[in-house]
Structure 1
Amino acid sequence: MWTWIRNVTRLTVKEFRSLLGDVPLMALIVFAFTVAIYTTAKGVKAEVANASVGIIDSDRSALSYRLRDAIRAPYFKAPVDVTHEEAGPALDRGDLIFVIDIPANFEADVLAGRTPAIQVRVDATAMTQAGLGVLYLNEIFLKELLDFFHQRGLESMLPTQAVIHLLFNPNNQSHWFTSIMLIVTNVTVLSIILVGAAVIREREHGTIEHLLVMPVRPSEIAMGKILANGGVILLASLLALWLVIHQWLQVPLAGSIWLFAAGAALYLFAVTSLGILLATTAASMPQFGLLAAPVYVVLYLLSGAATPVESMPLAIQDIVQISPTTQFVKLTQAVLYRGAGLDIVWPQLLAVAAAGVLFLALALHRFRSMLAKQG
């Protein structure tokens, strides 16, 4: 056992030095956990923001101008006047997301008790903006019409009123969610790439033969790569979580960073083992890239980091529970968003650890076969 530990330590140091000497990979790690997180968190919004609006105002009345003036930033850009002929092509080109058509005699019909209709055409290719934007416009128009007639809303007539309290993200700021999920995303993709590249680099450079003549076992070689690459990514992710996300983006962290770090360490053990497994299957770096890309995409899209698992078909919900990425996303959200403790997230820790053991066993089996062929 002591010999195994000593050999793993030496191989880990060797791998660590090799990684530090690889300038492009180190630059990729720094970029992924700093600039990429900040720009994506600030640039990608799940809520409506700066949506473009065109308006066809055939009424030109006080009420139509009132509705127009109520469409304001930060949700919408200032409405621009368009004609019926211009509206369709503008939607087709993507210049406008919403086109609001207020008919002639709209105010007169409203005052006369008739029910004129406002048509809202929406470019639903901008799915989030379109879905939420229609709700926002409906709420804006309803409020302005009630104010125009000096009426109170239905809620004021009810004996009780609903008071909504949003937990964990009271202002619905999407970058609170996006930035932390980017940690999971970057940890996943970099773990697979770095450890897989380390295995293939040994084979392509011929240094695997040097290891074969040394008194080391395949498990020691694999563990050295897992510890070195996983350790660098773990340190980078924790620094990004505290400095970039908490300090720079001002995202509150509700739970224990150390509990998250323990979960991240187990998850890194699982995905780096998966990276070794994929690298032993591929014959070259291009093949490894082609193999790793779809594996990562499936893990990410079905993890709950992009869309909620609860919105997926029931069969898919059951299948993705075996994915360590899905379990790690659950753990991350529970700890960092909701302040969960070990008593709540221990099932996720156990599931990630079990997946890591399985991936490592398969990786070692393939790794031994690869070394035997090399020898």
Structure 2
Amino acid sequence: MHTCSSITFLQKYPSKNSAEIQVFIDAVNANTAGIAGNYMNQIIQQYNLQLAQGKVNLPVSPEVVFLYNPGLISSWFFVPGVMGLVLTLIGTLVSAVTVVREKDTGTLEQLLMTPAANWQILLSKIVPLAFLLIGDVFLAIILATVVFNIPFRGSFLLFFALSSMYLFVGISLGIMLATVSSSQQQVVLTSFFINLPMVQTSGAIAPIESMPPLFQFLSLFNPLCHYVAIVRGILLKGVGLDVLWMNALALVAFAVVLLTISINKFRNQLS
């Protein structure tokens, strides 16, 4: 679900020859909200000139209200996107380097000689990383609210649950990279071919609505795009699962599919 500017008109008629128009603009994306507000002012000014016809008092007086980001603070738009970006980079790189290090040091064969089962070896890689990344989520939300004064208007439990789900997406991508790489340097270089396209089409830096239609369509298959929409929706809008259910369902689907593929590839490598 992409975040875009929305305008609602509420017309009132206090007298026969006057009208009041109140404009509500979704200001989660401060840049788009500013452009929409300028367009609205131009439309009303042109309408005023058509109706005034030489009169001194203009018949329409606009009042623009920016929802969710009244001050049009750019950090309120960028920081939630950067939170998803950081979790993606840390999740993929740390998990990939942790797994591929066994190949570099030659301890993968030693693990196979132990009585531990394949699922136990894999679980020992995933669980510590999950706890580490959960700590990063808490640190990121503390910095966002304390340093950048970003409001937290939604449910913390929902934010924590969906963030935990996204962590498994990043971990599964890292394990998948580790299974196709033979060294840590190769993992880092290969990750650029996955992380950079994810960042560019996620809406974390640039609004998705300003991208070409092809990239807007490809962003639907980007788990980071859905997570950024979730973070902005919970922090800035205070919406719940009734609004974000499509993004949450997409995250669950990505986590299940990617984790299944990465586990199977890792098991085949151990075998």
TM-score (norm 1): 0.56
- Residue 141 of structure 2 is matched in structure 1 by 241
The Cα of 1:225 is off from its aligned counterpart by 1.9
Cα shift readout 1:67-115 (whole Å, capped 9, x = no counterpart): xxxxxxxxxxxxxxxxxxxxxxxxxxxxxxxxxxxxxxxxxxxxxxxxx
Give the 4+ runs in structure 1 shifted more than 6 A: none
Aligned to 2:163: 264
Verify the 8 A CA contact 1:191 1:233 in the aligned structure 2.
yes
1:170 aligns with 2:67: no
**1-side partners of 2:226 and 2:140: how far apart?**
21
Taking the aligned partners of 1:240 and 1:365, their CA distance within structure 2 comes to 32
| Contact 2:81 2:203 (8 Å CA) reproduced | no
Task: Report the Cα offset of residue 176 of structure 1.
Answer: 1.9
Higher relative contact order (CA 8 A, sep 6+): 2
1:340 has 2:232 as partner:
no
Match of 1:329 among 225, 228, 247: 228
Contact 2:201 2:219 in 1 (8 A): yes
Q: 1:354, CA displacement in angstroms?
A: 0.9
> What is the alpha-carbon distance in structure 1 between the residues aligned to residue 119 and residue 211 of structure 2?
38
Cα distance, 1:358 vs structure 2:
1.1
> How large is the Cα RMSD of the aligned pairs?
2.4
The size of the alignment, in residue pairs, is 223
- Mapped to 2, the partners of 1:270 and 1:228 lie a distance apart of 15
- Which residue of 2 is the match for residue 273 of structure 1? 172
Is the 1:280–1:370 Cα contact (8 Å) retained in structure 2? yes
Indicate the residue corresponding to 2:19 in structure 1.
none
Question: Take 1:359 and 1:216, find their aligned partners in 2: how far apart are those partners?
Answer: 24
Which one is further off, 202-211 or 276-285? 202-211
Do 1:230 and 1:269's aligned partners in 2 also have CA atoms closer than 8 Å?
yes
Q: 1:333-365, CA deviations, whole angstroms, 9 ceiling, x for partnerless residues? A: 111111011211122122111111111121122
> In the alignment, does 2:182 pair up with 1:287?
no
**CA separation in 1, counterparts of 2:57 and 2:97?**
66
**Mapped contact 2:198–2:224 kept (Cα < 8 A):** yes
The answer to whether residue 263 in structure 2 is matched with residue 364 in structure 1 is: yes
The alignment partner of 2:65 has SS state of coil
Letter in 2 for 1:289: V
The residue aligned with 1:111 is: none
Identity over aligned residues, as a percent?
30
Aligned 8 A contact 1:257 1:336 in 2:
no
**Distance of 2:71 and 2:94 partners within structure 1:** 37
User: CA shift at 1:246, angstroms?
Assistant: 0.9
Of 108, 112, 130, the match for 1:212 = 112
1:263 CA drift (Å): 0.9
Which residue of the partner structure matches residue 16 of structure 1?
Answer: none
- Alignment of 1:227 with 2:115, yes or no, is no
Judging changes above 3 Å, is the alpha-carbon distance between structure 1 residues 287 and 179 closer, same or farther for their aligned structure 2 residues?
same
Segments of structure 2 that go 5 or more residues without pairing to the other structure are 1-30, 39-53
1:251 aligns with 2:150: yes
Residue pair 2:209, 2:216 contacting (<8 A) in 1 also: yes
Letter in 2 for 1:164: V
**Paired letter, 2:217:** D
> Does structure 1 conserve the Cα–Cα contact (< 8 Å) formed by 2:104 and 2:182?
no
Q: Unpaired runs of 5+ in structure 1? A: 1-127, 136-153
State the one-letter code of the partner of 2:210: S
- Structure 1 Cα separation of the partners of residues 212 and 116 of structure 2: 47
Larger radius of gyration: 1
Question: In structure 2, what is the Cα distance between the partners aligned to 1:298 and 1:371?
Answer: 30
Give a deviation string over 1:167-224, Cα, whole Å, max 9, x none: 1111111122222222111100000011001001122122222321233333333333
Matched, 1:188 2:88: yes
Secondary structure (helix, strand or coil) at the match of 1:355 reads: helix
Q: What residue in structure 1 maps to residue 59 of structure 2? A: 159
| SS, match of residue 196 in structure 2 | helix
Q: Counterpart of 2:101?
A: 201
Are the counterparts in 1 of residues 234 and 240 from structure 2 also a CA contact under 8 Å? Answer: yes
Change (3 A) 1:224 1:349: farther
2:173 aligns to what SS in structure 1? helix
Counterparts of residues 19-98 of structure 1 (less than 5 Å):
none
Q: Is the 8 A contact 1:218 1:364 kept in 2?
A: no
**Distance verdict in 2 for CA 1:345–1:221, change over 3 Å:** farther
